Amino acid sequence: MNKVLIITYYWPPSGGAGVQRWLKFAKFLPETGWEPVILTVDPEYAAYPVIDSSLMKELPENISVHKTPATDWFRIYSSDKSKVPSAGFAANPQNSLKGKISRFVRGNFFIPDPRKGWNMFAFRKACDLIEKEKIVTIVTTSPPHSTQLIGLKLKKKYPGIKWIADLRDPWTDIYYYDQFYPTWISRKIDAGYERKVLSKADRIISVGSLLKELFANKLHDIRNKIDVIPNGYDEADFKDISSVELSHFTITYVGTLSEKYPLSGFLDAISELSKIRNLHLRFVGKYPDNIMEQIKNSVTGEKVEFIVYAPHSEAITYMVNSSLLLLIIPEAGDNRLIITGKIYEYIAAKRPILCLGPENGEASNIISKLENGISLYYSDSERIKSYIISVMDNPVIMNNDPSEYSRRNLTWKLASLL
């Protein structure tokens, strides 16, 4: 069986969509004739915004996982590892002087990101694995984009290896990039890293067609080496999930919320509806106090439930046991590119989806193609209200076929690139 070295910073017990992407690929790769060899950071040295120990149970049997130390530069920000900021300080930016200084330091002294403290250790271990196990194919996945620099260095040392760069998010075009206050010199350095990775990688994977176009337009003659393999869902995650009869109409949101996720149009609609209809809001995730207050002020307290964090299996249970699923695309940059990882599990949950964001974006196109819900602009409270009423009056379990997004099928597509 051929071996492929997968270099990923995020791996269980870290949580999040990026972890699940390669955990699931690793699960199904042996079916395709490939043995995954994982290189990751030792959790004792890692800076994880989210922990989900339940994912440890999903590790494939006998999988080869190699862990190395790292320099944790986030310790400069806080000695408390539970306070590692998600999205590199950007998801919930602090506007205090300390917050602004922290983001400036992050954007100008840690290029492309602070997790590059792992690179030196990972590179040494990767060389050892390549030579001892005769590995000729490697994958680097990001964010953090500093992981791609490991692949760049390995390609230089071993020009004969096949290097596939998996880019799950934009790099210098990410919607929160300017929140780091990068100087023109920092932008130039970071853009230089990005171009080198795009140029030197043998193949590039993006998670959506618009993201592919973004990268393809960075350099001439790279379009043909970029492939799209989206995130997806694992049928096994839904196998033992049973739905219960709900006592009230329940709208569930799972994931991140910040100032970049406009809620006012939705909450205006809910505020009016809650006066005449019996409904319940459920938010699963860790949110800033001001966001929770905004939600609580829009509806009476007994109609809102906040669940700070749920393991992956529990999050899916909440999705399945809902009347309607809320999806919000951040309002920043070219947000047409953004496809949140949970959209595929929302689809697999077979519940109607209300997506707030650009009506011509990637997420909207997926929902429209599968006829799984509706996409509306953030402030369109009247249409938001009308859609919620229509689902209330005509409850439905979606009867689509999302199998093109199953993790097993997507892994076969990955194997064809390997």
207 plus 275 within the same structural domain: no
Alpha carbon distance 83, 406 (integer Å):
34
Instruction: Out of 98-102, 289-293, 324-328, pick the least confident.
Output: 98-102
Residue of 346 and 93 predicted with greater confidence = 346
269-278, 283-292, 406-415 — which one is most confidently predicted on average?
406-415
Same domain, 55 and 188: yes
Residue 372 lies in a domain: yes
Pick from 231, 257, 271, 230: which is nearest to 331 by CA? 257
pLDDT tens digits, 160-214: 999 999 999 999 999 889 889 999 999 999 999 999 999 999 999 999 999 999 9
Q: Are 155 and 18 part of one and the same domain?
A: yes
Higher pLDDT among residues 297 and 138, named by residue: 138
| For residue 52, pLDDT beyond 50 | yes
| Structure tokens belonging to residue 86 | 């998600």
Of the candidates 248, 257, 243, 204, the residue with the CA atom closest to the CA atom of residue 227 = 204
Q: Which residue has the tokens 């200084």?
A: 101
64 and 156 inside one domain? yes
Nearest alpha-carbon partner for 299 in 410, 388, 395 = 388
Supply the pLDDT for residue 89.
47
Q: Is residue 250 part of a domain?
A: yes
Do 25 and 54 reside in the same domain of the chain? yes
Please state, rounded to an integer, the average pLDDT across all residues of the chain: 91
CB atoms within 10 A of CB 187: 17
pLDDT given for residue 77 in this prediction? 55
Question: In terms of residue numbers, what domain contains 90?
Answer: 2-233+407-417
Specify whether 205 is located in the same domain as 98: yes
Same domain, 129 and 204: yes
Give the start-end residues of each E strand in 207-278. 226-228, 249-254
Q: What is the mean pLDDT of residues 28-48?
A: 96
pLDDT at 396: 83
Note whether residue 339 is domain-resident: yes
Residue 400 lies in a domain: no
* 302 band by pLDDT with thresholds 50, 70 and 90: low
Residues 198 and 295 in one domain: no
Mark whether 158 and 204 lie in a shared domain.
yes
Q: Based on the domain organization, do 258 and 180 belong to the same domain? A: no
Are residues 195 and 78 located together in one domain of the fold? yes
- Domain assignment present for residue 401? The answer is no
Domain of 40: which CATH number?
3.40.50.2000
- Does the residue 399 lie in any domain? no
Q: How many domains does the chain have?
A: 2
Residues 194 and 297 in one domain: no
Predicted confidence band of residue 400 (pLDDT cuts 50, 70, 90): confident
Q: Which residue has the higher pLDDT, 340 or 150?
A: 150
pLDDT at position 84 = 52
Indicate whether 282 belongs to any domain: yes
- In this prediction, residues 274-283 reach a mean pLDDT of 89
Going by C-beta distance under 8 Å and a sequence separation of 6 or more, which residues neighbour residue 285? 253, 254, 255, 256, 257, 307, 308, 309
Give the per-residue pLDDT at 208.
93
pLDDT band for position 88 (cuts 50, 70, 90): very low
Higher local confidence (pLDDT), 9 or 311: 9
- C-alpha 101/C-alpha 96 separation (Å) is 9
Q: What is the pLDDT of residue 75?
A: 66
The answer as to whether 12 is a domain residue is yes
Residues 142-155 have pLDDT tens digits of 999 999 999 999 99
